[in-house]
Amino acid sequence: MKRNAVILQREKTALLIIDVQEKILPVMLNRENLVSNIEKLINGFKVLNIPIFFTEQYPKGLGPTTPELVKLLEGSGSISKMSFSCFGAGELFTTLKEKKLSQVVVCGIESHVCVQQTVLDLLVNDFQVNLAADAVSSRKTIDYEIALQRMNEHGAEVTTTESILFELLNVCGTDEFRTISKLVK
């Protein structure tokens, strides 16, 4: 018997946090839940020792990543970009390939712009994308909903923060399981 190939595997997975910056974050829908779920992903990925990457769209204009997340991302440098898609974020895609990271968990803002364009570019470059629907946002509900639908139609696995973390755990009864169980409660 075999497991489904879309189930996340630690050694193949990375977290990509897109543009959660000070000047745009305040106008996002469900801002508190958005940040809380991204924090859970960051903390969970750190417990599991899985690589984390984060981008900033035009930081001169939109400011740095929100301090709430920066404090959790110590040791990870931001990747500045001018393009909406992270495809234009330096060597990010190449780095993922070189590290043999073929499954990318995506979160951030805005769902219908930078997140959507990045997801579509990841998919066409043969990455599996797991989109944390509860850890992405837009200013308007229609933009959020249509973006999730479009990304799903093009092959993204649309799921949730908790589902992602438990998928990566694979089993219960470990110290990692106990730590992550506390994170998601």
As annotated, the active-site residues are 19, 81, 114
Q: How far, in Å, CA of 145 to CA of 159, rounded?
A: 13
Q: How far, in Å, CA of 104 to CA of 54, rounded?
A: 12
Dihedral angle sign, alpha carbons of residues 14, 46, 59, 26: positive
Which CA distances in Å does 163 have to 96, 105, 126? 22, 11, 22
Ordered alpha helix ranges (H), the chain: 31-47, 59-62, 67-70, 92-98, 116-124, 141-153, 161-169, 175-184
Amino acid at residue number 118: T
Q: How far, in Å, CA of 166 to CA of 96, rounded?
A: 22
